[in-house]
Structure 1
């Protein structure tokens, strides 16, 4: 059965492409009925473990799109670099961890000081996502929004309650799966049967298509995960409070600075030093990478220049001497010989 393309298609459907438990059961029954696999022991054992390998039972839990196999393989590759000995393993693992933290700081700086390029101009949903999401998450969100143009509404939405609308969405591809999207007009809540937001943390193309049809131009706050945003509100509030306190202290120092009253100023500075132990220290801002050439590019530029100079010197040595150059060298040697004779 491993070489049968039809069986493998149904098995992959059970493993990755079923949105609900009911759809999983229907696909499995069809697979067993088409290939007469009622008494297959391996399939029975795998059915008992279906909660561990089928996405139909875990798509409503956040996993950031990571599978257990890829996560373990990535961890193993990192631990192999760290080595096997105990002492060297700890030291190497600390080095690996430092590289992770350095990469995170670089990404934070890029997200803080850079704005991504958008595919569509003057699109309100895309502009809002560019201001909210990090660069990597915005690229994923932009792909979903662009793919939403390939989604069509099968029929007019039906009413489920006073404010809820039910949409049947399908792509233009032949025999594509129908997705059910439920949108609450009053609360601006949206749910899709593909469970993209629950598992990945960003809205799917079907939900974005419905938001576009309903003239919703801003992503609701409940559908923006903090872990995918550029900066948390708590961090911003902490920074603003610390900057305001420092500004107030600086103003008081400047007001008390006077040549006639140096004692008051000294007393104020000493009291501030005594209070520093109870207050939280002000952290230095993250270092910003300067624009222009990097150190590697500068080094490469200088190396090219040194190479050119060396090649010129080689060419000078290899080229034959002209008559004027020969006469000049002979006259110079005669002058040296005369000076040596006069010295003797």
Structure 2
């Protein structure tokens, strides 16, 4: 639950001293690998909120319900092919549904929330809606300012441990929070949303609308491939034909 690297270092040292683990070899090795498991020191890297083990766990869940120790390699391959076909079918359905529908919400559709419903997929909109709801239950304190940047502290009501500092440049509508949720997940945290709302910003700034979470992310990816080097303009077509040819061989 640590947010900053300084907080992590302080709690780690306090834990080692409390339980007399300063010279423990296993804890020394774990500490050397902190960049791989501690969110507080790796939030500058995009992870979409996925923990290190979630990918393997989701794969095991997807194919493990039919596979066992007695499953042959051929049977496993058949199960895996059916699983991927189901994923692709679901992806096509979701892509059609998300691109043709508008999300509904129990909250009043203010400008920013309405914009999120228009550009984000339904699943991402739910995440943004949750952050937006939290932003309504926060208190804001201005800590300082200079010629172009304003510094605020945003805290959930009755939860002082949730306080984070937010920098805001009004001219460019640039916002940055110490929780680094946007850098790690790709959508704005409730601290940043609160400050944008405070300054009457009614649309999510374009720089904070991650293409991968929009309704037309897949279409834009294909268009981007088509507009690349003329020698590579047939890559999307070739990938589609390779998949069809592969299925034909099977």
Same fold (TM over 0.5): yes
Aligned to 1:42: 26
Indicate how the Cα distance of structure 1 residues 195 and 237 shifts in structure 2: closer, same or farther if over 3 A, else same: closer
1:170 equivalenced with 2:155 (yes/no)? yes
The separation in 2 between residues aligned to 1:37 and 1:21, in whole angstroms, is 20
Indicate how the Cα distance of structure 1 residues 34 and 110 shifts in structure 2: closer, same or farther if over 3 A, else same: same
The separation in 2 between residues aligned to 1:237 and 1:23, in whole angstroms, is 43
Aligned to 2:208: 223
The separation in 2 between residues aligned to 1:219 and 1:137, in whole angstroms, is 14
State whether residues 143 and 153 of structure 2, in contact with CA within 8 Å, keep that contact through their aligned partners in structure 1: yes
Aligned to 1:106: 93
Write out aligned runs for 1:1-344 (5 A): 17-80=1-64, 81=66, 84-153=71-140, 155-159=141-145, 161-232=146-217, 235=220
Indicate how the Cα distance of structure 1 residues 42 and 175 shifts in structure 2: closer, same or farther if over 3 A, else same: farther
Unaligned runs of 5+ in 1: 1-16, 239-279, 281-344
**How far 1:44 moved relative to its partner?**
2.4
* 2:53 alignment partner, SS class: helix
**Per-residue Cα deviation, 1:125-165 (whole angstroms, up to 9, x for no partner):** 10000001011100110010011112111x32411x42111
User: When the two structures are superposed, what TM-score results if normalisation uses the length of structure 1?
Assistant: 0.59
Indicate how the Cα distance of structure 1 residues 70 and 233 shifts in structure 2: closer, same or farther if over 3 A, else same: closer
| Larger relative strand fraction | 2
Indicate how the Cα distance of structure 1 residues 32 and 236 shifts in structure 2: closer, same or farther if over 3 A, else same: closer
* 1:152 alignment partner, SS class: strand
The separation in 2 between residues aligned to 1:24 and 1:237, in whole angstroms, is 42
The separation in 2 between residues aligned to 1:222 and 1:89, in whole angstroms, is 44
State whether residues 82 and 93 of structure 1, in contact with CA within 8 Å, keep that contact through their aligned partners in structure 2: no
Aligned CA RMSD, in angstroms, stands at 2.3
The separation in 1 between residues aligned to 2:110 and 2:157, in whole angstroms, is 23
**How far 1:68 moved relative to its partner?**
1.3
State whether residues 151 and 170 of structure 1, in contact with CA within 8 Å, keep that contact through their aligned partners in structure 2: yes
Structure showing greater Rg: 1
User: When the two structures are superposed, what TM-score results if normalisation uses the length of structure 2?
Assistant: 0.80
Indicate how the Cα distance of structure 1 residues 176 and 21 shifts in structure 2: closer, same or farther if over 3 A, else same: closer
State whether residues 125 and 218 of structure 1, in contact with CA within 8 Å, keep that contact through their aligned partners in structure 2: yes
Unaligned runs of 5+ in 2: 224-236, 238-250
**Per-residue Cα deviation, 1:171-215 (whole angstroms, up to 9, x for no partner):** 112442320111111211111111111111110000000101111
* 2:94 alignment partner, SS class: helix
| Larger relative helix fraction | 1
State whether residues 116 and 130 of structure 1, in contact with CA within 8 Å, keep that contact through their aligned partners in structure 2: yes
Indicate how the Cα distance of structure 1 residues 125 and 86 shifts in structure 2: closer, same or farther if over 3 A, else same: same
**Per-residue Cα deviation, 1:44-98 (whole angstroms, up to 9, x for no partner):** 2322221221111211111111111222112223343456423333332221111
Indicate how the Cα distance of structure 1 residues 203 and 70 shifts in structure 2: closer, same or farther if over 3 A, else same: same
By relative contact order (CA 8 Å, sep 6+), the higher-ranking structure is: 2
* 1:230 alignment partner, SS class: coil
